[in-house]
Amino acid sequence: MTDSASTGAASTRRYDDILVVTIDHPPVNALSAAVRGDLARVIREAQADPQVRAVLLMGAGKNFIAGADIREFGKPPQAPILPEVCNQIEASAKPVVAVLHGAALGGGLEIAMAAHYRVALEGAKLGLPEVNLGLLPGAGGTQRAPRLMGAQASLDLMLTGKHLSARAALEAGLVDTLSSDADPLDAGLAYTRQLLAVGAGPRRSRDAGALADKTVALAQVEAAAERVAATTRGLYSPAKIVEAVRAAIEQPFDEGLRTERALFLQCLDSPQRAGLIHAFFAERDTAKMPGQPARPRRLERLGIVGGGTMGAGIAVAALDAGFPVTMVEQDDAALERGRARVAQVYDLLLKKGRLTPQERESRLARFTGATDYGALDDADLIIEAVFEDMAVKQAVFAQLDRVAKPGAVLATNTSYLDVDHIAAATRGPADVLGLHFFSPANIMKLLEVVVGEHTAADTVATGFELARRLRKIPVRAGVCDGFIGNRILAVHRQAADMMMEDGASPYEIDAAVRAFGYPMGPYQMADLAGGDIGWATRKRRAPTRDPAQRYVQIPDRLCERGWFGQKTGRGFYLYPDGARQGEQDPEVLAIIAAERARARVTPRSFTPEDIQRRYLAAMINEAANVLLQGIAQRPSDIDVVFLAGYGFPRHRGGPMHYADSVGLDRVLADIRGYAQEDPAFWKPSPLLVQLAESGRNFASLNQTA
Ligand code: 3HC
Ligand code: NAI
């Protein structure tokens, strides 16, 4: 080893005749302007340095390079731009080798593809995930990947955004060799020395031959174009990715790069890019708390009370994460059903080949069932998921208070009930919080961490730690009826019900909400979740309902007939013979017509845009109230709740980001317009008024620490 020079974001050190360039830009070596500038300079200097025969690129820390610096998108570009740096690397007269470890994603993989040789370490993750941010690989990736791995495999990589393991990347032709060395420097030096020993010179991906059969490649592009048109529902960048790969086949390399750049800039300008990047950061911000964070309590053994839909799903999530789990049910028969629900999930995964028999066994071996609460005496955290009934929950918490060990955290999975009232059944409300999972609990990413009046800071920290271990996205919420998500949902669902009574059919409303980008509309959702749950909540709320507020009875008419949705074969839709896709039901339309007559409503028509605007305005207005009351910490947390828990279209960034993008003055004007017909329901939130009238937006309230 000789020489050493620090250049800031990329440092260099020479090992004999190999110049090792280490990209060092924590936390993930993203390609900021400083990194790009340093890279361009060291590559240039290497050309002129007679002592350098080869260049080795590696990352400092856990990752090679996670991609372009996402925080720079939307700001004016700073030279040198990444495609130029990649071209410069590829043009090097001396061989350039990249050693890939940890994340080699997006622009990081593009740098590696511009290098002349690639070696990957075990555990490396390679991918072109730009599509998840509304972009396409814009530093030559759409031109080099197809030349290295063919049109089909590169389209697959770019359209799914998936990560490839080192072995899969080798098989695909994306890397040249694997190394079992744990240290990237040793692995990279060893490989580079081998290359120099055999006299290997620069070998450029632009000249690679995987697109040799143009007819086959173009047929793959056509098929991808059709798939994208049929499945990506309004997304902008997938079609641009296909166009860029078509250019890779039809155009010479340099012209293809120009086409890619033009398509990339179109994606960069699209509101979808802004929405998706907002979602990326919003999800990472939810766990950030102002002030000094408390340390979580010990978290090794979990207890669950209730083995129904949610208890079983939570058990699976915990077993998947490696926790030992004890489930308590009311009696042997209920416990057996709970156990069967857990086993059923694993049996299905086994059948689909997504789990090995050994994995199934080892997970179930960590599962214990009991009917005696005493079995929970060694649990560090106990989650209650029994019936949604205050008396039942308080009785359970009084029992837990007797058996739980000192310092154990007690959590309720209630959807709506007052966590402080539940905590009052114990002698230690500081240990109690809400952990509101979403169904199916082993799949849905969202976890509302509901903080009660007396909940201790380390109890909250333990809830966040559990989310981290379960790979969920935690969002802090305050106590109110329905917390963040269900509280807001109740309001925009009410707006939908009012439109239904005023003339829109549930099928028109569902179609308009789907056209906005949701996977399903509110009435399909209600049928899936089961109408009985909402009905029970409406009955519970009836005594406190404001008589001045309009109340639409159509859903009650269906529930009174036992039409609870899919599980009963009919709800708003018909599900003949257990069908999962519902059919429109003329009897439901007749019931709606009768209800309109009873309520003396003259039906009118709503365009899809009318429906969307009312639905969103109700959502945004209630979300503003949730913020104002401190139930949510920041607007972006509300976005995350709707993205991760309710199917809000990710490319629109969540309701708060969407409101900002259309303009708060327009949302307020809509609400004021609707208030002319129904001032009791459409009361503009004071926060919305204040922001709109001062020309501010929700984003101005986002803060992370
Ligand atoms: N730019 C800027 N910041 C980034 C970043 C990026 N590309 N990737 C991650 N970060 C930040 C995160 O915001 C987070 O910051 P914080 O600590 O302040 O919240 C920090 O790095 C750590 O990220 P994670 O919490 O996600 O850490 P993990 O270890 O769980 O995951 C990862 C690491 C797999 C690299 C993940 O962060 C990831 O997937 N990043 C995005 C990768 C990506 O999309 N790359 C493509 C970018 S677009 C591009 O390259 C365009 C080009 O073609 C021109
Ligand atoms: P469920 O009816 O499927 O299961 C409840 C289980 O609790 C039953 O198996 C019952 O035997 C058991 N149980 C009742 N009393 C008990 C007691 N004293 N001790 C031990 N076990 C007892 O209900 P589900 O859907 O699982 O809901 C449970 C809780 O989760 C409710 O508070 C609900 O509001 C909430 N929730 C439900 C969601 C859903 O989509 N189903 C989503 C999020 C939260």
107 lines ligand 1 (CB under 6 A): yes
More confident residue, 291 or 338: 338
Number of Cβ within 10 Å of residue 9's Cβ equals 20
CA of 651 to the centre of ligand 1 (A): 18
Q: Residue 1: is its pLDDT beyond 50?
A: no
Q: In terms of Cα–Cα distance, which of 177, 178, 137, 181 is closest to 155?
A: 137
With pLDDT > 70 as the criterion, what percentage of the chain qualifies?
99
- Atom number in ligand 1 closest to CA 280: 13
Is the confidence at residue 29, as pLDDT, over 60?
Answer: yes
Q: Is the CB of 184 under 6 A from ligand 1?
A: no
Ligand 1 lined by 24 (C-beta under 6 Å): no
Return the best residue to mutate from 326, 345, 387 for the ligand 2 pocket (most ligand atoms within 8 A of CB).
387
- What integer pLDDT is reported at residue 4 of this predicted model? 43
Does the beta carbon of 130 sit less than 6 angstroms from any atom of ligand 1? yes
Q: Whose CA is nearest to atom 43 of ligand 2?
A: 438
Residue-by-residue DSSP string for 156-220? HHHHH-PEEPHHHHHHHTS-SEEE--S-HHHHHHHHHHHHHHTT-----GGG--TT--HHHHHHH
Residue nearest to atom 30 of ligand 1 (CA): 284
The protein residue whose alpha carbon is closest to atom 41 in ligand 1 is 66
What pLDDT was estimated at residue 320?
97
Ligand 2 atom nearest residue 311's Cα? 26
Ligand 1: centre distance to CA 58 (Å): 17
Each residue of 470-526: pLDDT tens digit?
999 999 999 999 999 999 999 999 999 999 999 999 999 999 999 999 999 999 999
- Give mean pLDDT, residues 547-567: 94
> 432-437 and 409-412 as β-strands: parallel, antiparallel, unpaired?
parallel
Q: Please state the rounded mean pLDDT for residues 443-457.
A: 97
**Per-residue three-class SS string for 614-649:** HHHHHHHHHHHHHHHCCCECCHHHHHHHHHHHCCCC
Q: Which residues are catalytic, by number?
A: 110, 130
CA angle 634, 638, 641 (to 5 degrees): 135
Tell me how far apart the alpha carbons of residues 308 and 329 are, in angstroms, rounded to a whole number.
Answer: 9
Q: Are 118 and 166 in contact (CB under 8 A)?
A: no
Alpha carbon of 39 to ligand 1 centroid (Å): 19
List the residue whose alpha carbon is closest to atom 36 of ligand 1: 66
- Nearest-CA neighbor of 633 among 688, 704, 577? 704
The residue contributing the CA closest to ligand 1 atom 22 is 27
- pLDDT tens digits, 297-312: 999 999 999 999 999 9
DSSP character for 429?
Answer: G
C-beta of residue 636 within 8 angstroms of C-beta of residue 659: no
Q: Give the number of whichever ligand sits closest to the CA of residue 112.
A: 1
Q: What is the pLDDT of residues 385-441, one digit of tens each?
A: 999 999 999 999 999 999 999 999 999 999 999 999 999 999 999 999 999 999 999
Neighbours of 227 (CB within 10 A): 14
Ligand nearest to the CA of 71: 1
Q: Rounded CA gap, 216 and 453, in Å?
A: 65
Q: Which atom of ligand 1 is nearest to the CA of 125?
A: 34
Residues in the chain: 705
210 lines ligand 1 (CB under 6 A): no
DSSP 8-state class, residue 236: S
Ligand 2 centroid distance, CA of 413 (Å): 8
- Which ligand 1 atom is at minimum distance from the Cα of 281? 13
Establish whether residue 85 lines the binding site of ligand 1, counting it when its CB lies within 6 angstroms of any ligand atom.
no
Closest CA to 493 of 462, 455, 454, 527: 527
pLDDT, position 8: 82
Quick one: CA torsion of 488, 491, 497, 503, rounded to 10 degrees? -110
CB within 8 A of 306, min separation 6: which ones? 327, 328, 329, 338, 384, 385, 386, 387
539 Cα–ligand 2 center, Å: 18
Nearest ligand by distance to the CA of 102: 1
Q: Which ligand is located closest to the Cα atom of residue 396?
A: 2
Q: In which order are the strands placed within the sheet that holds 302-305?
A: 367-370, 325-328, 302-305, 381-384, 409-412, 432-437, 446-451, 473-478
Whether 241 lines ligand 1, by a CB cut-off of 6 Å, is no
Please name which of 655, 633, 660, 658 lies closest in space to residue 645, comparing C-alpha atoms: 655
Name the DSSP class of 305: E
Asked if residue 541 has pLDDT above 90, the reply is no
pLDDT of residue 290: 78
Residue 7 pLDDT: 55
Closest of 115, 116, 117 to residue 107, by C-alpha: 115
Nearest atom, ligand 1, residue 63 CA: 35
- For position 319, what pLDDT does the model report? 98
pLDDT tens by residue, 634-693: 999 999 999 999 999 999 999 999 999 999 999 999 999 999 999 999 999 999 999 999
CA distance 432 to 430: 6
Atom of ligand 1 nearest to the CA of 71: 2
State the Cα–Cα distance between residues 217 and 247, nearest whole angstrom.
11
User: pLDDT at residue 5 above 60?
Assistant: no
Which ligand ends up closest to the CA of 369? 2
Distance from C-alpha of 534 to C-alpha of 556, rounded to nearest angstrom: 9
Segment 317-333 shows an average pLDDT of 98
Any ligand 1 atom below 6 A from CB of 277: no
Give just the sign of the alpha carbon dihedral 323, 326, 329, 335: positive
pLDDT of residue 2: 41
Q: Whose CA is nearest to atom 25 of ligand 2?
A: 309
Residue 674 in contact with residue 614, Cβ under 8 Å?
Answer: yes
User: Hey, which of 31, 70, 71, 472 would you mutate to test ligand 1's pocket, going by the most ligand atoms within 8 Å of its Cβ?
Assistant: 70
Pocket test for ligand 1, best of 25, 28, 286 (most atoms within 8 A of CB): 28
CA of 397 to the centre of ligand 2 (A): 14
Tokens 């990081």 locate to 108
Average pLDDT, the chain: 96
Could you identify the atom of ligand 2 that is nearest to the CA of residue 338?
9
Amino acid at 487: R
Q: Tens of pLDDT along 611-630?
A: 999 999 999 999 999 999 99
Structural domains of the chain sorted by starting position, each given as residue range(s) with its CATH number in brackets = 10-269 (3.90.226.10), 302-479 (3.40.50.720), 522-603 (1.10.1040.50)
Residue nearest to atom 4 of ligand 2 (CA): 308
Q: Average of pLDDT values for 154-171?
A: 98
Summarised one tens digit per residue, pLDDT across range 559-580 is 999 999 999 999 999 999 888 8
Residue 549 in contact with residue 680, Cβ under 8 Å?
A: yes
* Residue 592 CA to ligand 1 centre (angstroms): 49
Ligand 1 neighbour 135 (Cβ under 6 A):
yes
Average pLDDT over residues 328-353: 97
Strand runs labelled E in 64-142: 96-100, 103-105, 117-121, 125-127
Q: How many helices (H) and strands (E) does the chain have?
A: 27, 20
Measured by CA distance, the residue closest to atom 19 of ligand 2 is 330
Instruction: Output the pLDDT for position 3.
Output: 42
Residues with CB under 6 A from ligand 2: 305-311, 328-330, 334, 385-388, 392, 396, 413-415, 437-439, 529
Of 397, 488, 400, 384, residue with least CA distance to 436: 384
Place of tokens 């020993």: 197
Element (H, E) at 370: strand 367-370
> For residues 436 and 456, is the Cβ–Cβ distance under 8 A?
no
Model confidence over 38-55: pLDDT tens digits?
999 999 999 999 999 999
Beta bridge partners of 191: none
The alpha carbon of 289 is separated from its chain's Cα centroid by a whole number of angstroms, namely 20
